[in-house]
Amino acid sequence: MFSLTNKIAIVTGGGSGIGKAIATVFANQGATVYIFDMDEAGGNSTAEEIFKSGHVAFFNTCDVSKQDEVKKLVTDIAAKHGSIDILVNNAGVAHVGNAESTSEEDFDRLMRVNVKGVYNCLHAVLPHMKLKGGSIVNMASVVASVGIPDRFAYSTTKGAIAAMTMSVAKDYLSSQIRCNSISPGRVHTPFVDGFIAKNYPGKEKEMFEKLSKTQPIGRMGKPEEIAHLALYLCSDEASFITGCDYPIDGGFIKLNN
């Protein structure tokens, strides 16, 4: 079950965290994985680890906010393989602040990466995916469904992702392209560790515990847990699923009230 043998997959933001886990799980299940990331060290490391485990992955330096970069890479991949079967739009950046404290520069930066970056990848991949169908997974967030303090710009972008997912799912039904989104709660990634170290020096352990307990289940998620849901949604076993968002949040949305 959940085989991706002979599938060609693109995973953005695959150099670390959730994206790395998705790239690794997909490759382990037989996909040829193309990792798009700005982090050359992380992206190369992910690809090398996958190769050492006997599977296939390639790293491409890519700024998803730049359409020409995305289009060239996608065109080259499609020319090599004939089509693209899977796209996971995982690349994204975060920001802490409300509507007053968020600068125009930061707002524009998040929109460029989190929204335009997803658009750029969809715009480039869909013409090739239409040849024989495929599956798209967009990484949304619980913040698209509930209010969280000081996440104004980030929440705005993830709300856009939810709407984009529904639109693509509707528009490409006749092309046998499925499009769904995943909404993680807090997941323990290097980003979380860096955020805590930067904002709470000397209180790392205390803040980690506090953030972990905001999930009713009592801990943060693991990147591999998100990757396994992405695997299901991109597999043939999920062929009857499109236009849906899947919270994977330790009960955050439903059980915190």
Torsion angle, alpha carbons of 101, 187, 86, 92, to 10: 20
Query: Is the CATH code 3.40.50.720 the one for domain 8-185+222-251?
Result: yes
* pLDDT score at 121: 98
* pLDDT score at 54: 98
Q: Are 204 and 1 in contact (CB under 8 A)?
A: no
Residue 123's beta-bridge partner residues?
Answer: none
* pLDDT score at 195: 83
Q: Are 57 and 28 in contact (CB under 8 A)?
A: no
164 to 216, 226, 243: CA distances (angstroms): 29, 20, 10
The better pLDDT of the pair 141, 256 is held by 141
Average pLDDT over residues 211-233: 96
* pLDDT score at 257: 61
Q: Are 85 and 130 in contact (CB under 8 A)?
A: no
Average pLDDT over residues 201-208: 94
Share of the chain above pLDDT 70, in %: 100
Cα–Cα dist 33/9, whole Å:
5
Can you give the residue ranges of every domain in the chain? 8-185+222-251, 188-220
Residue 57's beta-bridge partner residues?
Answer: 33
Q: Are 212 and 205 in contact (CB under 8 A)?
A: no
Between 5-14, 19-28, 86-95, 248-257, the lowest mean confidence (pLDDT) is in 248-257
**Please, what's the largest Cα pairwise distance for the chain?**
55
Quick one: pLDDT band at residue 118, thresholds 50, 70, 90? very high
Q: Which two tokens stand for residue 190?
A: 């290097």
pLDDT tens for residues 143-187? 999 999 999 999 999 999 999 999 999 999 999 999 999 999 999
* pLDDT score at 234: 98
Q: Are 98 and 106 in contact (CB under 8 A)?
A: no
Residue tagged active-site, from 154, 172, 232, 246? 154
CB atoms within 10 A of CB 35: 30
- Phi and psi for 134 in degrees, rounded to 5? 170, -170
Cα–Cα dist 84/72, whole Å:
14
Share of the chain above pLDDT 90, in %: 95
Element (H, E) at 135: strand 134-139
Q: Is 154 a catalytic residue?
A: yes
Element (H, E) at 205: helix 204-212
